Amino acid sequence: MRKSCLLLSQGMKYTMKIEDENYVLEYEENTGRISIQGSLRLNGLDEYAPLLDVLVNCMQQSDAMFVDLSALEFLNSSGIAMFSKFIIQARSKENFSLELNGSSQIPWQSKSIKNLQRLFPALVVTFH
Amino acid sequence: MQPRHHNARWQIISIILGYVLIVGLLGLTTKVGLDNINALNESLKTVVLQNNIKARYISEMSDAIKKRMLYLHTTIHIDDPFEIDAIWEIYSAAAREFITAREKLTAMSLTPDQLDQLDGQRKVLAQAQPLLDSTLNAVRDEDKDLARANILKAQQLNDEVIKDLQRMKDLQQEIAESAVVNSARAISKARNRILSLIAAIVIISFFILVAVILIIQRQSQNVSSLLSRLEQANTELEDKVVQRTEELLSSREENARMGAELAVTNKLQQMLLPPPVELEHVPELTVAASMSPAEEAGGDYYDVLRYDGQTIIGIGDVTGHGLESSVVMLMTQAAVRTLAVSGQQDPVKFVSVLNKILYDNLQRINSYKNMTFMLAHYQDGVFTACGQHEEMLLLRKNSDAVERIDTMDLGFPLGLEENIDAFLQTCQIPLSVGDCLLLYTDGIPEAQNQAGEFYTVERLIAQFQISRNLSVQQMHQHMLNDLRAFIGMHEVYDDITLMLIKRET
């Protein structure tokens, strides 16, 4: 079952966490950093909506955003569609910088992150 | 419920005690009042009785004095000495009567004034006695003038005594009257005391009554609030039952609807795939292809069409599962056939137009579906591919190694961007007789076993190599069998499409 919670930290900035048995999404508002770990195999964009909300909310809150996917082992095609949708929204925001961190060891990432970069040429992609 | 019973018992006991107290106070009041009134009555009776006796004695004294004076007068007119002696006897008897009455009166409780008066009378009478005696002697001596003069004197003194007695009688009367007034006051005092006691009892019992009423009222409020809570809980329970029943009914409807949707989706998907008989009639090539849907139908697509001497092969994968994905696949199939029928020979234009068709339609239905798609034209030994999909695996007749042909740079997912021309390229693969090409969707490398391991492209390549000497149909079957054996009892997440194309002639 999916759980969402707000974790208050110092300076009244919050960390948001969405997780189930397969994945964890963490959002630190003060740093504009989102990390997703595990394996995302949700069914359709409806089930991805809460995650997309976090991404879009983070984009609206900050001018610079860092998304760490280096520990996201698997992302199904609906998940890729969600990222595509997010990138299409993000590219229309002026003076917005977005950095994606991925892992070259994970098969789905090389192809999909490249497609994301094609959607948003200003997207900074780092692999490690 | 235990303390409630306890309370009720205490209330009953306190009510009974209250009644006992009220009855006791009433009894006490009645007794005190009666005693007071009885005592007053007794003292009044005594006063009246004593007053009567005193009045009688005073009257007797007064009568004795009058009688003596009368007989003294009578003696003046009598000459017979015997007769005078007889009267003298009566006269003396009257004197004795007077003394007896006075003694009796003195023996009674008298006020100091009365005693003084009596003492004064005695002196007057003692003063009168010699006069009377000399009067009697004068009568006997027949000195009537002296006798008459003495009688007059004695008369005056007697009158004084009689007046005095009368005053005494009046005084006694006054005392009696004041005693009556006093006792009337005492009675009214007693009555007031009784009345105030009764008032106190009435007030106390009023307070007890009010307290009892308040307690009962509070209890009945408690009971009614409990009842209303119970009623509310009951209503909530009923509502929940109704709600749950509705949920069950609607979930049954939802299940039925989803079941129907699934059936329609599967049917759509299977209907639009080329039947084996079509695949058998492709010139130069032997094609074996299948699509097995995941538990929930998805959006894998493949097709083999022939128009104007060209064989057109398409393969694609719509994101997600369900009816919407299947509808996108249906659109794709219809558009591909339309483009093929219209004689579109340029693969780039073919894919570009297809992207525009899908993009516009997806915008209309407000969908974020997109699809990987690769189209190939085959003619005269050349396989020309365009569009981004999975890798193509090529096993040449004269080679043991499988070539992996990446399609990443041949295109872009369809339906995401309005124009993808910048990303579209073609790739020409010459096929010799005996060369075999393998196309697949990501359902194969991403299939997982019980341990959570992926099937991977490498394993697919290995099975491709192992089965290379089998017929195309047998190779196809072998690879599917291996994949199924790998997955075992694990859930199948995605559609699995496998297509083998071998140039035979």
User: SS3 for B431?
Assistant: coil
Contact B319 A115 (CB under 8 A): no
In sequence order, the β-bridge partners of residue B304 are B313
Cα–Cα distance for residue pair B427/B408, rounded to 1 Å = 11
A43, A80, A118: residue with CB nearest B321: A43
Which of helix, strand or coil describes residue A29?
Answer: coil
The pLDDT score that the predictor gives to residue B7 is 67
What is the C-alpha separation between B396 and B468, in angstroms, rounded? 10
Is B300 in CB contact (< 8 Å) with chain A? no
Contacting B with CB below 8 Å, chain A residues are 41, 43-45, 74, 76-78, 80-82, 84-85, 88, 107-108, 111, 114-115, 118-119
Helix and strand tally (H, E) in chain A? 3, 7
Note whether B320 contacts A114, CB cutoff 8 Å: no
- B contacts of A115 (beta carbons < 8 Å): 388, 412-413
Sign of CA dihedral B312, B315, B316, B322: positive
Spatial neighbors of B152 by CB under 8 A, at least 6 apart, are none
Instruction: For residue B306, count other CB atoms closer than 10 A to its CB.
Output: 14
What's the length of chain B? 505
The partner residue sitting opposite B368, judged by closest CB among A41, A45, A107, is A45
Do the Cβ atoms of B69 and B98 come closer than 8 Å?
Answer: no
At B431 the pLDDT is 95
List chain A residues with CB under 8 Å of B317: 77
Cα-based angle B258, B260, B263 (whole degrees, multiple of 5): 110
Query: Per-residue pLDDT for A9 more than 50?
Result: no
**Coil, strand, or helix at residue B267?**
helix
Work out the minimum CA distance from B273 to partner chain A, whole angstroms.
Answer: 21
The pLDDT confidence band at residue A3, using thresholds 50, 70 and 90, is low
HEC sequence for B128-162: HHHHHHHHHHHHHCCCHHHHHHHHHHHHHHHHHHH
* Contact between chains at A115 and B417 (C-beta distance less than 8 A): no
pLDDT at position A111 over 50: yes
Residue type for position B52: N
Shortest CA gap A21–chain B (Å): 14
Q: What are the start-end ranges of the H helices in A1-128?
A: 44-61, 77-90, 107-119
Three-state SS at B318: strand
Residue with tokens 């099937």: B455
Tell which B residues from 302 to 331 touch A, by Cβ distance under 8 Å. Answer: 317-322, 324
Helix (H) or strand (E) holding B377: strand B371-379
CB contact under 8 A, A76 and B317: no
Q: Which residue of A has its CA nearest to B323?
A: A44
Give the C-alpha distances (Å, rounded to integers) separating B450 from B72, B136, B251, B487.
163, 168, 31, 7
d(CA A6, CA A14): 7
Question: What is the pLDDT at residue B469?
Answer: 93
Name the minimum distance, in Å, from the CA of B245 to any CA of chain A. Answer: 24
Of A78, A81, A114, the CB nearest to B408: A114
First to last CA, chain A: 31
pLDDT of residue A1: 61
Q: How far is CA B8 from the centre of its chain?
A: 22
Instruction: Nearest chain B residue to A77 by CA: give it.
Output: B319
Predicted-complex ipTM score = 0.83
DSSP designation for B275: P
Dmax (CA) of chain B: 213
- What's the DSSP call for residue B448? B
Cβ <8 Å between A84 and B370: yes
Give A-chain residues touching B494 at CB under 8 angstroms.
76-77
Q: What is the sign of the dihedral through the CA atoms of B110, B113, B117 and B119?
A: positive
Q: Show residues of chain B in contact with A76, CB under 8 Å.
A: 446, 493-494
Please state, in angstroms and rounded to a whole number, the distance separating the CA atoms of residues A18 and A40. Answer: 12
Query: What is the residue type of B431?
Result: L
Q: Which of B324, B416, B453, B492 to mutate to test the interface with A (most CBs of A within 10 A)?
A: B416
Query: Is B442's CB within 8 Å of A84's CB?
Result: no
Residues B347/B286, Cβ–Cβ less than 8 Å: no
What domains lie within chain B, and their CATH numbers?
1-214 (1.20.120.1730), 273-503 (3.60.40.10)
pTM over 0.90: no
Residue by residue, pLDDT tens for chain B (505 residues) are 445 556 667 877 887 887 788 888 888 888 887 887 888 788 888 878 888 888 888 888 888 888 878 887 777 777 777 887 887 788 788 888 888 888 888 888 777 877 887 788 788 778 777 877 787 778 777 777 888 888 788 788 888 888 888 888 888 788 778 878 888 888 888 888 888 888 888 888 888 888 888 888 888 888 888 888 888 888 888 888 888 888 888 888 877 877 777 777 777 777 789 988 889 889 999 999 999 888 666 689 999 999 988 999 999 999 887 788 888 998 999 999 999 999 998 999 999 999 999 999 999 988 888 999 999 999 999 999 999 999 999 999 999 899 999 999 999 999 999 999 999 999 999 999 999 999 999 999 999 999 989 999 999 999 999 999 999 999 999 999 999 999 999 988 888 999 999 999 8
Stretch 365-384 of chain B: residues touching chain A, C-beta under 8 Å: 368-370, 372
Q: Pick B322's closest partner by Cβ from A41, A44, A88.
A: A44
Closest B-chain CA to A110: B408
Which residues of chain A neighbour B296 with C-beta distances below 8 Å?
43
DSSP B454: B
Mean pLDDT of chain A: 85
CB nearest to A78's CB, from B319, B416, B445: B319
- DSSP at B414: B
Cβ(B414)–Cβ(B420) below 8 Å: yes
A34/A53 Cα distance (integer angstroms): 12
Report chain B residues whose CB lies below 8 A from the CB of A117: none
User: Long-range contacts made by residues B187-196, C-beta under 8 angstroms, separation at least 24?
Assistant: B187/B36, B187/B37, B187/B40, B190/B33, B190/B36, B190/B37, B190/B40, B191/B33, B193/B32, B193/B33, B193/B36, B194/B29, B194/B30, B194/B32, B194/B33
Cβ-defined contact of A118 to B423 (cutoff 8 Å): yes
The predicted pLDDT at position B396 comes to: 96
B334 or A13, which is more confident: B334
**Higher per-residue pLDDT: B180 or A1:** B180
Q: Which residues of B touch A119 (CB under 8 A)?
A: 416-417
Q: Which residues contact B99 (CB under 8 A, 6 or more apart)?
A: none
* Selected residue of B362, B368, B390 to mutate for chain A interface (largest A Cβ count, 10 A): B368
> Rounded to a whole number, what is the distance in Å from the CA of B456 to chain A's nearest CA?
9
| Dihedral sign, Cα of residue B379, residue B384, residue B387, residue B389 | positive
Strands B285-292, B300-307: pairing kind:
unpaired
Interface test with B, best of A77, A109, A117 (most B CBs within 10 A): A77
Burial of A111 (0-12, 13-18, 19+ CB in 10 A): middle
Pairing of strands A64-75, A33-40: parallel
Interface test with A, best of B317, B362, B370 (most A CBs within 10 A): B370
